[in-house]
């Protein structure tokens, strides 16, 4: 019995590792965040392994059943729509349950969006803090105030329809001149990284609304 965490490409399907492909072909079952999205990946690499939905809306409900399948001897792989499962995607609850039950666990190395965005930013990356998605309401102001004084580079994930509001919040709490970098559509045809002050980036995306998933990298307080 074993659960294998398999990262999937964040855009370009050619970024899938050979080990990831062979793992998905060899396991008994694949848990996928969205089976429709993952079906495209499986078809591309001629993978016929059965899939089952595992996402934030059903993970609590089906967790016990998955653990039972693993205990019965099945080999199961967990994938998300893009990137590494459990990094701002479902997966933590299942990993924790496997650790508690003594079930073998393996996480393959592979794609995750914040690493290329951090490297592309040109900001110091020897020490950084990954915050994922900011709280939508409760705790958002408190979190922003704390991050404004963070001595390390800060990395955030932002949905495109929340980018303008997030940049406004960063300008308010970090200051309009704080240096940031915005990466979007990483590894895809229209990949873009834009660097500058919060104010200049906000002005650009106010005139040109962004599309695609976005990574925001913010300079440290010590660099302000």
181-198 pLDDT per residue, tens: 999 999 999 999 999 999
- Kindly report the CATH number assigned to the domain that includes residue 19: 3.40.1010.10
Q: Does 139 share its domain with 180?
A: yes
Q: Does 121 share its domain with 202?
A: yes
- Structural domain harbouring 171: 114-223
pLDDT tens sequence across 120-134: 999 999 999 999 999
Q: How many domains does the chain have?
A: 2
Q: Does 55 share its domain with 153?
A: no
Tokens of residue 87, six digits: 């990094």
In the structure, what pLDDT confidence band is assigned to residue 138 with cuts at 50, 70 and 90? Answer: confident
Provide the pLDDT for residue 121: 98
Those residues whose C-beta lies under 8 Å from the C-beta of residue 169, and which sit 6 or more positions away, are 134, 140, 144
CB distance 113 to 157 below 8 Å: yes
| The residue to which tokens 């609590």 are assigned | 60
Describe the crossing of helices 163-174 and 140-148 by its angle, rounded to 10 degrees.
Answer: 50
Burial class (CB in 10 A: 0-12, 13-18, 19+), 107: middle
Q: Does 120 share its domain with 84?
A: no
In the structure, what pLDDT confidence band is assigned to residue 224 with cuts at 50, 70 and 90? Answer: low
| Rounded mean pLDDT, 124-152 | 95
Q: Does 94 share its domain with 138?
A: no
Q: Does 38 share its domain with 58?
A: yes
Q: Does 153 share its domain with 77?
A: no
d(CA 77, CA 32): 9
Cβ density class 194-213: b for 16+ within 10 Å, e for less: ebebbbebbeebeeeebeeb
DSSP 135: P
């Amino acid at each position: 019995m074993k659960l294998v965490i398999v990262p999937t490409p964040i855009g370009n399907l050619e970024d899938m590792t050979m080990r990831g492909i062979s793992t998905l072909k060899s396991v008994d079952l694949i848990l996928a965040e969205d089976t429709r999205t993952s079906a495209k990946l499986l078809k591309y690499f001629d993978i016929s392994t059965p899939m089952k939905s595992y996402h934030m809306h059903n993970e609590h409900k089906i967790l016990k059943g998955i653990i039972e399948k693993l205990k019965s001897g099945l080999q199961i792989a967990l994938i998300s729509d893009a990137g590494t499962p459990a990094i701002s995607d479902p997966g933590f609850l299942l990993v924790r349950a496997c650790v508690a039950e003594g079930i073998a666990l393996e996480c393959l190395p592979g794609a995750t969006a914040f690493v290329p965005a951090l490297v592309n930013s040109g900001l110091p990356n020897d020490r950084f803090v990954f915050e994922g998605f900011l709280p939508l309401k409760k705790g958002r102001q408190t979190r922003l105030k704390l991050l404004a004084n963070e001595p390390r580079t800060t990395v955030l994930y932002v949905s495109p329809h929340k980018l303008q509001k997030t940049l406004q919040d960063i300008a308010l709490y970090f200051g309009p001149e704080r240096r940031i970098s915005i990466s979007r559509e990483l590894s895809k045809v229209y990949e873009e990284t834009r660097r500058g002050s919060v104010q200049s980036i906000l002005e650009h995306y106010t005139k040109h609304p962004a599309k695609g998933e976005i990574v925001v990298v913010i300079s440290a307080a010590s660099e302000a």
